[in-house]
């Protein structure tokens, strides 16, 4: 099929496609999502097929108002209402227990809970309101690849597989939303994002960071918990200590005819980089790096022939938790160590 690029003037047409059971990618403040009518089982199944996504990987339900949420979820607790009042619209996804048979198991991965989000993007909120249905909203990319922060990234992965893409330019945050499970006794973060653990605890009290590893036969409660994510074709290696970059660059250039380097401006200013290593700046700090991480991985994946990518690591404090969560998954937990610089 032809994949159309919808402008903001084409929202009525994009909404009509969603209502007709077609797939339309949409912008959020975090990354682009892949939309389908969440109440249409056939349309939702096409999302899994288009992405090549495992069927037990649950989908986020994207909404434009709280009234829609109350149609599907069990009565909201005071803590959930506080989260909604504080962080919606915004980069927080909330897992809630569902009313019986409220949503298809195709959406929930077979669970009795579902993840809900109201994004801080006016174009998408208008799209959902115009369509008149909630939409599923996984990232609009081939499963396992870096998430898309531009409409062009979506088009590269999904052209010919979806009806269209609502283009609202580059996303603002660059990493997916924080996911908090409010179906448990103690609220638990299942995926870190722009809304930090401290911010959540400030408004609802005790919050637990999730350390659970999902087993091979276990259904994850949230996206990104079980399967490989965010990985470009080239192997990513994390450099945790900025003082190791000189050794890391020497190592990667000696083992690869072409390599990539992603680091902050301050690190790059102190390095002598050979011609065989292409540089992509992550900006001045972890906030900028979070915004640019997926764009950098996409750049090296789509526009170069690098076979390895060195990428700067950060502390897991604050926003660094979200950045390192995505980067570790992208790298398969591959970190540079000084013994790599020694040929054996």
> Annotated binding residues, as ranges?
30, 53, 57, 113, 117, 139, 147, 177, 191, 230
> Residue 209: which pLDDT band, with cuts at 50, 70 and 90?
confident
Domain harbouring 144, CATH code: 3.90.870.10
Question: Is there a contact between 120 and 62 (Cβ–Cβ < 8 Å)?
Answer: no
pLDDT grade for 344, boundaries at 50, 70 and 90 = very low
- Going from the C-alpha of 106 to that of each of 22, 40, 110, 127, the distances in angstroms are 16, 10, 7, 23
Q: Which tokens hold the place of 100? A: 């019986």
pLDDT computed for residue 53 by the predictor? 81
Same domain, 292 and 152: no
pLDDT over 70 for what percent of the chain?
A: 93
| Angle, alpha carbons 87-93-99 (nearest 5°) | 115
- CA-wise closest residue to 300 among 258, 334, 255: 258
Task: Indicate the pTM of the whole model.
Answer: 0.91
Which pLDDT score, from 0 to 100, does residue 214 have?
Answer: 59
On whether residue 230 sits in a domain, the answer given is no
- Quick one: 267 and 304 in the same domain? yes
Query: Over 90: is that where the pLDDT of 121 sits?
Result: yes
pLDDT reported for residue 77: 98
pLDDT tens digits, one per residue of 96-116:
999 999 999 999 989 999 999
Residue 227 belongs to a domain:
no
Mean pLDDT, to the nearest integer, of 189-201? Answer: 96
Half-sphere exposure at residue 180, Cβ-oriented, CA atoms within 13 angstroms = 25
pLDDT at 183: 97
Check which CATH number belongs to the domain holding 271 and give it: 3.40.50.11030
Residue 343 is predicted with a pLDDT of 47
- 169 shares its domain with 264: no
Q: Over the stretch 246-283, which tens digit does the pLDDT of each residue have?
A: 999 999 999 999 999 999 999 999 999 999 999 999 99
Are residues 137 and 18 part of one domain? yes
Total length of the chain: 344
The Cα–Cα gap between 262 and 275 comes to 15
Q: For 113, phi and psi rounded to 5 degrees?
A: -125, 165
Tokens of 72: 């599907």
- Could you give the percent of the chain with pLDDT greater than 90? 88
The mean pLDDT value for 130-145 works out to 95
User: Does the pLDDT at position 69 exceed 70?
Assistant: yes
Work out how many domains the chain is built from and give that number: 2
Domain containing 190 equals 4-209
Mean pLDDT of 132-148: 94
Given a cut of 60, whether residue 213 has pLDDT beyond it is: no
Answer yes or no: do 45 and 146 share one domain. yes
Tell me what pLDDT residue 225 has. Answer: 58
Considering the domain boundaries, does residue 155 fall inside one?
Answer: yes
Q: How does the average pLDDT of the chain come out, rounded?
A: 93
The rounded distance, in Å, linking the Cα atoms of 327 and 323 is 6
Q: Are residues 197 and 291 in the same domain?
A: no
* Residues making up the binding site for L-threonine: 30, 117, 177
Unique residue bearing structure tokens 């084409």: 10
Tokens encoding 203:
């408004």
Q: Does any domain span residue 185?
A: yes
Q: Which residues are annotated as a binding site for ATP?
A: 53, 57, 113, 139, 147, 191, 230
Alpha-helix residue ranges (DSSP H) falling in the chain: 11-19, 41-51, 66-72, 78-87, 105-108, 122-131, 151-158, 197-204, 245-255, 265-268, 286-303, 320-331
Residue 272 tokens read as: 């002598």
């Amino acid at each position: 099929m032809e994949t159309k690029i919808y402008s903001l003037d084409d929202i009525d047409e994009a909404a009509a496609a969603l209502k007709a059971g077609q797939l339309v990618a949409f912008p959020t403040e975090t990354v682009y999502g892949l939309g389908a009518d969440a109440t249409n089982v056939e349309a939702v199944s096409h999302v899994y097929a288009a992405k090549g996504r495992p069927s037990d990987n649950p989908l986020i339900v994207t909404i434009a108002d709280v009234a829609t949420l109350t149609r599907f979820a069990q009565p909201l607790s005071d803590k959930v209402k506080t989260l909604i009042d504080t962080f919606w619209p915004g980069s927080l996804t909330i897992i809630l227990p569902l009313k019986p048979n409220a949503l298809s198991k195709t959406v929930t991965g077979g669970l009795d809970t579902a993840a809900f989000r109201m994004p801080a993007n006016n174009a998408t909120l208008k799209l959902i309101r115009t369509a008149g249905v909630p939409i599923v909203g996984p990232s609009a990319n081939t499963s396992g690849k870096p998430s898309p922060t531009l409409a062009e990234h979506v088009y590269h992965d999904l052209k010919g597989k979806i009806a269209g893409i609502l283009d609202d330019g580059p996303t603002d945050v660059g990493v997916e939303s924080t996911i908090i499970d409010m179906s448990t006794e103690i609220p638990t973060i299942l995926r870190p994002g722009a809304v930090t653990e401290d911010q959540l605890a400030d408004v609802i009290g005790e919050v637990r960071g999730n350390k659970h590893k999902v087993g091979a036969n276990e259904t994850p409660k949230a996206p990104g918990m079980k399967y490989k994510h965010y990985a470009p074709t080239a192997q990513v290696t994390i450099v945790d200590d900025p003082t190791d970059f000189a050794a890391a660059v020497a190592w990667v250039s000696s083992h690869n005819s072409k390599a990539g380097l992603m680091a902050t401006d301050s690190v790059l200013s102190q390095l002598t980089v050979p011609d065989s290593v292409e540089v992509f700046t992550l900006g001045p700090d972890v906030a900028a790096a979070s915004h640019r991480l997926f764009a950098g991985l996409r750049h090296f994946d789509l526009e170069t022939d690098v076979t390895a990518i060195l990428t700067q690591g950060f502390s897991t404090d604050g926003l660094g938790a979200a950045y390192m969560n995505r980067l570790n998954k992208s790298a398969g937990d591959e970190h540079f160590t000084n013994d790599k610089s020694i040929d054996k």
